[in-house]
Structure 1
């Protein structure tokens, strides 16, 4: 069970914003960092700061042990079959681009198909748009149901024998929808396609087992799961990664360099050119320890409860539209909404003046906004440190915003 005391583990939350205690409801954009993660990064810089792999001195060895220890924690966290399947990147965007540029360019040709959905984040749209343009492949979209879910019948209709790549987000960053990823992977594999999962909104909140999902690639970011910014992960099945070429070249990823030819290190290092994000990886390892101590199942239950509570409270406000599945079992801890006649940026500004942080805009999902018939929305996203009291503050803030703009309009 997650208690209110957990908020004390996050130093940044102990402050006032615009004269009010901070209520942080923007974890979908980036999560706050607990004391243990801050301390782990600080400890590395104070005691062990050195480059990894290259040196034989004590600091170098300690830094390498911590960096590679973090990789083992990631492998265990997602149940990868080997640490060789865990590539450290700058984040989900870099991870998906790596798959598109390395696997995609080698395996997708004119006449082939790439399949994604209408709910994808721009980071899981643009790399595939570019790949389609480069190769002459066709980019196809699986449409949504009116409640913001995916129909497996439509998945079956869209994926064909020409499909080479299927790339779908596990959890929507706008709708909160939890997609049937395992079933989609099975359909993709039945047609000979590889399955790429954008796990940015899933890894921080749900127990992930890449072997059970049978995905070929899984991408996620550390900063959304209590870790520092600038660190992320690309998981890939070992056989696929071994056949792929690196997309960045230089130091650290090489085995032998001659005047005209070079060879690469073995996995996972051939994909990690240059000095890696050492402190970020160590911070990610500490974040994983923290989340596993709480329990991912407990986190999922907590957020599902908060989302259901928020939808109940917000539904009492006339003129407020909530997007995404009405069934709390089908969504994660994200509630996206609009107030009639009020731009979401204005809503977010009034909330901020009351110490409540939410996100407003198109959420890097412009095709989805068009599908929803909205130019922008406001979004509250919950995490381990949020409480029912935070939701109550949100509902009160929305009433203030509605009353304020009602007075302004009239």
Structure 2
């Protein structure tokens, strides 16, 4: 991978912020978009903007072909067995809520268990809290090891024959922990439970094979993988999806409507009520083309190189606490002694360095870490080791600033 050629594809990176060249280290929140994605969405609106699945005119046919073509690209990208298993949603949050509403509330009862972890994003906690309240099920947490990883022994001890759903993130958006999904799935299935995977932080950065992982549901967002905002995917095994009722009702998802009853379309359309996110699907499909051209193995290799380099550089920074395991995805979450992460982020912004600060939609994990907030630098295929050097230099300036001021 030629990093210079890759960076040339991202127009937004070629600007100055506060008099400095932009160093964008917040891709775990949202990635930047290559020119081909922007152009593909513009072309849709310029040349064949139309609704899908409805009209038989030329524009409608072109739009439908592009929309369903994007679905096939998603299927191949995550190696699902059928396009019927690919549901377009507004994002990971909507996808997880769909499972919690359409599957969990219909299948759980009092005495059943939902098992999750302390490292989950709020989008993979709150839907299960609500499902438990609605059904009388019990919510249980797999404990974390000291370095923020999961022990398979703890997984085995937490999951019981009363467990019906295991919901776990593939990659932690705070710790960078890469969870052993395939092994957890086997334990869940051995106890008769299904597994729901939050793939928001893994799909952009590594090759996903949902059949090999043997997950029952898998959710991710387009905007973290070079695609547009407002588009995401729920993968579900066909047998499970066929036996679920939709979470939303209206146009597009119906087969026949009578005065007092209605029937639904077949998969995947019964879960896509209303006018779908057509331009978003077009953009996501082009983002997948872009990532495939580079190769996901190469993306993963390069980001591992960046994460390893960043961890080594952080060791040189006095007064910095880094959270998470040594082997991790491409992000570093940290705090500086006596500097609030919001203050650190603000000072870094004056140097043109964009990072995330706050609780990262993971307040239970912040409590487990014993902090109220952290700072996070996250990397993607367009970042460089030189940008990490600029981050470290800016953090040194931040420490000096607060030492001198206070």
TM-score, scaled relative to structure 2: 0.99
1:77-106 deviations in Å (ceiling 9; x for gaps): 001100000000000000000000000011
Distance 1:216 1:25 in 2: 32
Alpha-carbon separation, structure 2, partners of 1:349 and 1:268: 44
1:210-229 to 2 correspondence within 5 Å? Answer: 210-229=210-229
| Correspondent of 1:339 among 336, 339, 356 | 336
Match of 1:397 among 387, 394, 399: 394
Indicate the residue corresponding to 2:349 in structure 1.
352
C-alpha distance in 2, partners of 1:119/1:143?
A: 9
Alignment partners' CA distance in 1, 2:319 and 2:392: 13
- Asked if the contact 1:2–1:298 (Cα under 8 Å) also holds between the matched residues in 2, the reply is no
Contact 1:2 1:384 (C-alpha < 8 Å) held by counterparts: no
Provide the residue aligned with 2:161 in structure 1: 161
Q: Is it true that 1:374 corresponds to 2:371 in the alignment?
A: yes
Deviation of 1:408 (Å): 1.2
Contact 1:231/1:281 (CA < 8 Å) preserved in 2? yes
The 1-side partners of 2:4 and 2:204 are apart by: 19
| Map 1:280-319 → 2, pairs under 5 A | 280-319=280-319
1:123-142 equivalences under 5 Å are 123-142=123-142
Which whole-Å CA distance do the structure 1 matches of 2:200 and 2:3 have between them? 25
Q: Distance in 1 between matches of 2:177 and 2:303?
A: 13
Is residue 196–residue 218 contact of structure 1 (8 Å, CA) maintained in 2?
yes
Q: Secondary structure at the match of 1:378?
A: strand
- What secondary structure sits across from 1:88 in the alignment? strand
**What residue is the counterpart of 2:248 in the other structure?**
248
Taking the aligned partners of 2:341 and 2:304, their CA distance within structure 1 comes to: 24
Q: CA deviation at 1:254?
A: 0.2
Q: Give per-residue Cα distances to partners, 1:355-389, cap 9 Å, x unaligned.
A: 00000000000000000011000000000100011
What SS is found at the alignment partner of 1:145? Answer: coil
Aligned-partner Cα distance in 1 for 2:336–2:55: 58
- The match for 1:103 is 103
How far has the Cα of 1:2 moved from its partner? Answer: 4.2
Per-residue CA deviations over 1:202-225 (Å, capped at 9, x if unaligned) read 000010000000000000000000
Counterparts of 2:197 and 2:345 in 1: how far apart (Å)? 31
In 2, Cα distance between the equivalents of 1:199 and 1:274? 25
Which residue number in structure 2 is paired with residue 52 of structure 1? 52
1:271 corresponds in structure 2 to 271
Q: Report the 3-state secondary structure (helix = DSSP H, G, I; strand = E; otherwise coil) of the residue aligned with 2:161.
A: coil
Match of 2:322 in 1: 322
Deviation at 1:314, TM superposition (A): 1.3
Task: Map residues 17-36 of structure 1 onto 2, 5 A cutoff.
Answer: 17-36=17-36
| Residue 202 (structure 2) aligns with | 202
1:356/1:394 contact within 8 Å kept: yes
Q: For the residues of structure 1 that align with 2:49 and 2:177, how far apart are their CA atoms?
A: 41
List alignment gaps of at least 5 residues for structure 1: none
Rounded to whole Å, the distance in 1 between the matches of 2:8 and 2:322 is 31
Work out the CA distance in 2 between the residues paired with 1:407 and 1:112.
Answer: 56
Counterpart of 1:46 in 2: which secondary structure?
helix
Instruction: Give the distance between the partners of 2:219 and 2:202, measured in 1 at CA.
Output: 10
Secondary structure at 1:260 match in 2: coil
Structure 2 residue runs without a partner (length 5+): none
Instruction: Give the Å deviation of 1:63.
Output: 0.1
Q: Which residue of 1 aligns with 2:259?
A: 259
Shift of 1:348: 0.3
Q: Give 4+ residue runs of structure 1 displaced > 4 Å after superposition.
A: none
Shift of 1:3: 2.0
CA change 1:2–1:141 in 2 (3 A) is: farther
Per-residue deviation, residues 259-316 of structure 1 (Å, max 9, x unmatched): 0010000000000000000000000000000001111111111111111111111110
CA–CA separation in structure 2 for the residues paired with 1:204 and 1:259: 45
Distance 1:2 1:215, change over 3 A: farther
The question of 1:234 aligning with 2:231 is answered: no
- TM-score, length-scaled by structure 1: 0.99
How far is 1:4 from its partner? 2.5
User: What's the counterpart of residue 43 of structure 1?
Assistant: 43
Question: In 2, Cα distance between the equivalents of 1:213 and 1:190?
Answer: 14
Q: Secondary structure at the match of 1:224?
A: coil
Q: Distance between the aligned counterparts of 2:110 and 2:323, measured in 1?
A: 37
